Chain A
Amino acid sequence: MGNIDRRILYLIALLVMTLPLFLKLPLPIADNKRSLDAFDAIEKVDQSKGNQVILLSVNFSPDTKGESLPQARAMVVHMLQRSKKFIIYTMSSTGVAGQQMVDDEAKAIAAELTKQGKPRAYGKDWANMGYKPASSPILEGMARNVPGFFTKDSRGTPVDQLPVMDNIKTADDIGMVIDVSPTASYELWIQALTSKFDIPLLLAPTSVMVPDTYPYLISGQAQGELRGVLGAAEYESLLVKNKMADQSSVGTRVMTSMAALNAYIMILIILGNVTYFRSLRKGEVTK
């Protein structure tokens, strides 16, 4: 076992990840409290008085597209289905690419919904507010004057010509912040906006960041979380259960391959340990 060429192990890993994509194995996704809380929090945003826009902070670049885009996509489906108005913003220069991907997804979903008799349109239901560098003081400034911060969208349309921004003046008019990011940008939101103005915060970090977010969830500083691509799969499953999507999307497909890969890694760990202890007993290796 110890003498197996690592390239053979990589090749098997590649097959293990690829085959489930072709076989289209149905993977049951269990409900998770964090995703359920995120889903319920979006449901609760009340925009009946014409304000309380949802601020979707997208700070991922193409390198983490595999995890971050399915998360953002699942929540965009939810918001467009329920006609919850949202604006897409990035505080990272490399996040512009991710922001554009989310905007494109929103366009495709809106076109599909419009075909189904639920008209959704750019500017009215969502807007892409482009890139603006941010720090805590800058975001505090935004809290006092939202249209002064987002003067125009990424297409150059002045903010007063975007119906989605009607009646949005200060932090009191922001109904929720959703942070889709492979970095700790949620800390900026907590410092400058959500804790201070009691605005719900949803987190969508990459898997590697999930353990870092637990203190914020346990203390109630964040109301829900999509835990990496698993969170996206859980959210897609909630959308299907609530008849907002016909079938699960890319997040669930990635998780099917992931489950197979996890099983493969566990088998390798067990085999590796068995081989090691056997060699130890035979005196072939020393501690």
Chain B
Amino acid sequence: MTNISPEQFTLIQLWFAGICTLAIYSLLYKENPVYRIFEYMFLGLGSAYGFSFLYKDVMIPKLWDPLTQGQWWWFIPFLFGLLYFTVYSGKFSWMARTLIGTLMGLAAGYQFTQVVNQYFPQIRDSFRPLTPAAVEAVRAANDVVTTQPAWQEAANNLVFFITLIAVMTYFFFSFEHRNKAVVKTAQLGRWLLMISFGTMFGSTITARAALAISRIIFIVYDWIGHYTGWKM
């Protein structure tokens, strides 16, 4: 069998990637068997990659190597890990639940401490000066130098404050919204949420378009450009 040179291998990769891209985008024309074959191939490749990676980079260096070097105690967590497979037995499935419960308890307890780092700064930041005079006072106290007029920051803070209160009111389900002020505030909260969801949807389109453009760049400059000499 002849050896494949690195240049030939790169060329095979290029053609394979190009054909895969076209096959996946063929769905835009219509649902077709070529698309399905490549879709399943991607799923299969993804699963195989994940499994081989875990085996090569986790199972071997983290379990097999230490065990074969005499560090027998690594077998204990491995045994605990095996308890997951008891879910397939009606009689012993309770053993898997003890493991899952322990891990969930550990994660919940740990996460509780992490909330301090993750969300407390945001809660602290939600206390903001709402008048230009208060903005000036806060700036002076914190030695903040900025060219932004104080009234602009106060206006921004007011929008932030109204949004915070309105959206929190919308999600407050402890009692029925009967009071007219509460109903109107919750309605405003819903509108503000819709605006933010619209922003997110716009971002989603941008993200997908960027990925499509990057595939076009690949096809035009890397694949076709390999033969025509087109450069970015």
Contacting pair A258 B209 (CB below 8 A):
yes
For the complex, give the distance between the alpha carbons of A216 and B49 in Å: 34
A273 contacts the other chain (CB 8 A): no
B212 contacts the other chain (CB 8 A): yes
Contacting pair A190 B200 (CB below 8 A):
no
Contacting pair A211 B200 (CB below 8 A):
yes
Contacting pair B50 A192 (CB below 8 A):
no
A211 cross-chain contacts in B, Cβ below 8 A: 196, 199-200, 203
Interface residues of B in 1-51 (CB under 8 A from A): 28-30, 49-50
Interface bin, chain A: 35 or more
B174 cross-chain contacts in A, Cβ below 8 A: none
Q: A66-B215, A220-B125 known; A21 and B220 CB under 8 Å?
A: yes
Surface stretch bound by B, among A72-80, A130-138, A160-168: A130-138
- Encode B88-116 as 1/0 by CB contact (under 8 A) with A: 00000000000000000000001100100
Q: A208-B203, A228-B206, A250-B232 known; A93 and B213 CB under 8 Å?
A: no
Q: Which of B53, B57, B114, B207 contacts A206 (CB 8 A)?
A: B207
Q: Which of A210, A250, A265 contacts B217 (CB 8 A)?
A: A250
Q: Which of B117, B210, B216, B232 contacts A207 (CB 8 A)?
A: B210
For the complex, give the distance between the alpha carbons of A191 and B203 in Å: 26
B29 cross-chain contacts in A, Cβ below 8 A: 7
Say how far A68's CB is from chain B's closest CB, in angstroms: 10
B217 cross-chain contacts in A, Cβ below 8 A: 21, 66, 250, 253-254
Interface residues of A in 252-272 (CB under 8 A from B): 253-254, 257-258, 261-262, 265
Say how far A160's CB is from chain B's closest CB, in angstroms: 19
Say how far A212's CB is from chain B's closest CB, in angstroms: 8
The 7 closest A-B pairs by CB, nearest first: A66-B214, A207-B207, A219-B125, A208-B207, A191-B114, A207-B206, A195-B117
Interface residues of A (CB under 8 A from B): 7, 10, 14, 17-18, 21, 63-67, 93-94, 96, 131, 133, 136-137, 187, 190-192, 195-196, 206-211, 215-216, 218-221, 228-230, 250, 253-254, 257-258, 261-262, 265
